[in-house]
A = this chain, B = another copy of it.
Amino acid sequence: MVRTTFSEPDLRARRWLRERMEAGGLHASVDGVGNVFGRSPNDGPALILGSHADTQPNGGWLDGAMGVICALEVARAALEDPTTADLAIDAVAWSDEEGTYTSCLGASAFVAPLTEEQLAATNAEGETVAEALDRTRLAGSERVSFEPARQIGYLEAHIEQGPYLEASGLQLGVVTSIVGIRSLSVTFAGEQNHAGTTPMADRKDAAVAMFEFGSRLQDRMRAVASDVSVWTTGVVQVQPGAQSIVPGQAHVVVQFRDPDEEVLRRMDGAVRELAAEIGAAGLVAVAVEEGERIAPTVMDDELQRHIAAAADGRMPGRWISMPSAAGHDPMVLSHHMPCAMLFVPSIGGISHDFAEDSYEADIVAGCQVLADATVSILRQAMRP
């Protein structure tokens, strides 16, 4: 699936989705930032259901899209069924969750005016958000905004994108929080030299210092991590990068994630402490610079309870509460309204890849839990 934000396939998919929402009885539009919003004809209290419609450059068919279609189906089916036809269920497909331009663009625009920084964010070809909105003529359309007096919360169904549920024989995850992400950029400055004429004892080899750091980092992180912590050294660079030159500079980015701010703090400390130890050895200067820093997002307890109760009814003993290791639109939305999410198992944990898939029975079961939870949340909210 290649449907990056504001590409032709993305725009075509959004127009198609608007039609399906209309056909399902919603008042739908593609708004000024590309969000497809289907507003229920019923008065509030309303619940927003949705996910994102854009994909990674080489994405899977379910990441985002599954939750959008579940939202449409729950909203449509509720209107069709006389016992739920009075419920106000709004469905949404957010724009650019994946960050082709800037992560969670559509959800951000829903809750607040876009910042200059967001409008100036560019895609890989250098086009800004502002230019893209002009090119696609979306700029001329009205933006749909959050209605605090009407909308009481947001629910999202999504694939897990990891292997945990399938490997554990479970069918559904109730998301407790979205992990916080921090990254620290560690730079080793040694002395660039001739790889033939510089004796080993005289070297200040930045790559060797980095190898030492990267190798010792694993135990250090394990010692302070939680069961669900992850850490990754995905960016590794050595300068000048020639066979016959002792590297003068090396650079590694350590990214780490955990749902608990305290664990993130400990991991941050472990990276800095190890970097300081390598620096204290005196051969190379080690500098640590802070990179991204996203706080953990806690899902709403009350909404989680409704999803858990629905899961208990549909798949007793086969669901679990779990954090989300990937980022999602509730990172932005939860500052403005209660949010909750549920996960459907990913086959082999594969995501951001054409091979991404889930079993149909799991998707159906997840959608059913989403429907049950939606009804129970709205019925409770409508109680006098």
Contacts and interface: CB of A to CB of B under 8 A. Distances in A.
Nearest to A238: B236
B243 A232 contact: yes
Interface in A301-327: 325-327
A197 interface: yes
A244 interface: yes
A16 interface: no
A255 B243 contact: yes
Given A207-B233, A243-B234, A255-B195, A215 B212 contact: yes
A351 interface: yes
Nearest to A327: B196
Contacts of A213: 211
B235 A349 contact: no
A155 interface: no
Contact of A194 (B181, B240, B247, B351): B351
Nearest to A200: B230
Given A197-B325, A352-B194, A233 B257 contact: no
Given A162-B194, A163-B197, 20 more contacts: A161-B196, A162-B199, A163-B198, A194-B326, A195-B234, A195-B255, A196-B326, A197-B325, A200-B229, A200-B231, A205-B232, A205-B233, A207-B233, A232-B246, A233-B247, A234-B241, A236-B238, A243-B253, A243-B255, A243-B292
